[in-house]
A and B are shown apart, each in its own frame.
Chain A
Amino acid sequence: MTTCCARRGLGAVLAGGALLLTGLVQAEDSTQDAIAEYRAMFGDDNPAELWQARGEVLWRAPRGPKKVSLQACDLGLGAGVIDGAYAQLPRWFDDTGQVQDLESRLVSCVTTLQGIPREQFLKVKFGDGDQQSDLEALTAYVVAASRGKPIVLPLRHPAEQAAYALGKAVFRYRAGPHDFACATCHADAGKRIRLQELPQLTTAAGAREAYTHWPAYRISQGELRTMEWRLQDCFRQQRLPQLKFGSEVAIGLTMFLAKTAEGGTLAAPGIKR
């Protein structure tokens, strides 16, 4: 309940902040400057903390038909270890025989450990004003435990290398009525769409700038958004069909971005426009 009410109070603060943001379109100043200013209004506070707090409760509480917590969930560094786990994802998991990102790994833990059906857990993959997403909350909690950690992805398993190769190729796949690929907007330096600056995701610097701040609290939506949300929304704007959650393209692109950003220091959840 505290989460709900704190969230409403914060909504008012954010509405005030929106006034500041309307200045964006009129000013030729960089969008990033305005967001930096907006972030400064929060000081060290990030609304993502509300999702982190709810995620921690979900992580620790005995839930599902098996009435167990997620504290036995192995995110790659051993059962229950969340410190630094996100900095080494996506990775290969022997038990599922798959390369998984954080979100798809959380689904595995929730379904196998707690016995909650996949469809039930994923009913709200991306939350809105009416429904909260348990997946987004758990993701925020685990991600925050890697703040300050460098991204490390040795890609020792052949399936990890294959995921990276697929993501790298998908990045340049032009399709749809507009002939767009990820590369259309994200392969060159110093470009923008309208006033929005675009990270050059083919370079270490550009990929780090983007990847280390996702998942993020999205100001314009008042929601915490995961990397899987970010990717499926890019494909929507590319005029392609719906990217499936946990699909090989979703995992592959995440692997490509994370590997390109390797060595970068995680600062997620961040705050985005």
Chain B
Amino acid sequence: MKVTGMTLVRARWLLLAALCATAPLTLADDASPDVGAAMRRSFEAKHQAGMERLNQDDVQALCTRYTPASLPPAAAALIQQASLASVKPPAAGQYLGDYRRGEQIAQTGTGLQSSDDPAKPNGGNCYACHQLAASELAYGTIGPSLQRYGKLRGQSPAMLEAAWRKLYNPQADVPCSNMPRFGHQKILNEQQLKDLMAFLFDPASPVNQ
């Protein structure tokens, strides 16, 4: 089945049909409180953090209801297919930017919080969750270590595409992953993503020392 152009809205209907065929499941759970409505009553817009941020897209709704372990295979497949279709490769197939700028983006934890200056570029905050350069000891452990990322993998087109996909929309590979969809959600722009790619792959990058 060709699914590249499928929107997640359509995918959702197919998912509902698939789930209903096997078990009486729907996205809304009557036994649980209406969390979305309670959220909207309990928050107020502040600076750049508007109320629309409380609205869930289909991936968020499914990944609220399920963990990666409990996600039904039909839902997992549809999240993956729709997320894969959302990934936009960089212009002219140029994946690598400047690793020095990439390191800055990996170190920067600000961006999109109500307390942040919207005029400043968003950070990627990679170090919050990942080990990268061996010289940086203040790294988090929510995600796997990415030390020597490029050194271990080389720069084949397949490796570059896989890493780009992971940065752009990690739901394409791991449905209900904890990692933000940096490209899909426009947290980082194309140049910033390329700079992060260079931070991961460039042989001169501190990640690969």
Binds B, one of A8-16, A42-50, A83-91, A234-242: A234-242
Assembled-state Cα–Cα distance A239/B123 (Å): 13
B180 at interface, CB cutoff 8 A:
yes
Contacts of B186 in A (CB 8 A): 177
When distances are taken between beta carbons in the complex, the residues of chain B under 8 Å from A198 are 142
Asked if A66 lies at the interface with its beta carbon under 8 angstroms from chain B, I say no
Question: How many angstroms between the C-alpha atoms of A193 and B51 in the bound complex?
Answer: 27
Interface string of B26-46 (1 = CB under 8 A from A): 000000110110110111111
Cβ-defined partner of A247 (8 Å) among B43, B45, B54:
B43
In-complex Cβ contact of B38 among A27, A166, A176, A240 (8 A): A166
Known pairs A175-B55, A177-B112; A191 contacts B64 (CB<8 A): no
Q: Give the contacts of B126-151 with A (CB-CB under 8 A).
A: 127-129, 137-142
How many chain B residues have a CB neighbour from A under 8 Å? 43
Q: Do the beta carbons of A175 and B113 come within 8 Å of each other?
A: no
B50 / chain A contacts, CB cutoff of 8 Å: 241
Chain A residues within 8 Å of B55, by CB: 175
The reply to whether A191 and B53 contact each other, CB–CB distance below 8 Å, is no
The interface residues of chain B lying within 8 Å CB-to-CB of A179 are: 59-60, 63, 180-181, 185
Q: Tell me, yes or no, whether A181 is within 8 Å of chain B by CB.
A: yes
- Per-residue interface assignment for chain A, residues 223 to 246, with 1 indicating a CB less than 8 Å from any chain B CB and 0 otherwise: 000000000000111011111100
In the complex with contacts A249-B38, A249-B42, A175-B114 CB distance below 8 A = no
| Residue from the list A25, A184, A236, A252 in contact with B115, Cβ < 8 A | A236
Residues of B within 8 A of A243 (CB): 42-43
For residue A195, which residues in chain B have a CB less than 8 angstroms away from its CB? 137-138
Cβ A193 vs Cβ B128 within 8 A: yes
**Which residue of chain B has the shortest Cβ distance to A188 in the bound complex?**
B142
Within 8 Å CB of A239, what residues of B? Answer: 49, 53, 112-113
Q: Chain B 176-195, CB within 8 Å of chain A: the 1/0 string?
A: 00101100011100000000
Q: A173 contacts which of B35, B46, B128, B138 (Cβ < 8 Å)?
A: B35
Residue in contact with B39 in the complex, picked from A27, A188, A249, CB distance below 8 Å: A249
Task: Tell me whether B56 is interfacial, beta carbon within 8 Å.
Answer: yes
Interface size on A, residues (CB 8 A): 44
- Report the bound CA distance from A190 to B140 in whole Å: 11
Do A173 and B39 form a contact, CB below 8 Å, given A178-B112, A242-B44? yes
Give A90-104 as 1s and 0s: 1 = Cβ < 8 Å from B's Cβ atoms. Answer: 000000000000000
Which residue of A28, A165, A174 contacts B64 across the interface (Cβ within 8 Å)?
A174
Distance in angstroms from B109 CB to nearest chain A CB is 8
Complex: A184 Cα to B141 Cα, angstroms: 12
- Chain B residues contacting A135 (CB-CB under 8 Å) are none
Known: A185-B142, A195-B137. 4 other contacts (CB 8 A): A175-B55, A192-B140, A195-B138, A241-B44
- The 3 A-B residue pairs whose C-beta atoms are closest, nearest first, are A247-B42, A249-B42, A242-B46
A interface vs B, CB < 8 Å?
Answer: 25-28, 162, 165-166, 169-170, 172-181, 184-185, 188, 190-196, 198, 235-237, 239-244, 247-250, 252
Q: Which residues of B contact A (CB under 8 A)?
A: 32-33, 35-36, 38-39, 41-46, 49-51, 53-56, 59-60, 63-65, 112-115, 127-129, 137-142, 178, 180-181, 185-187
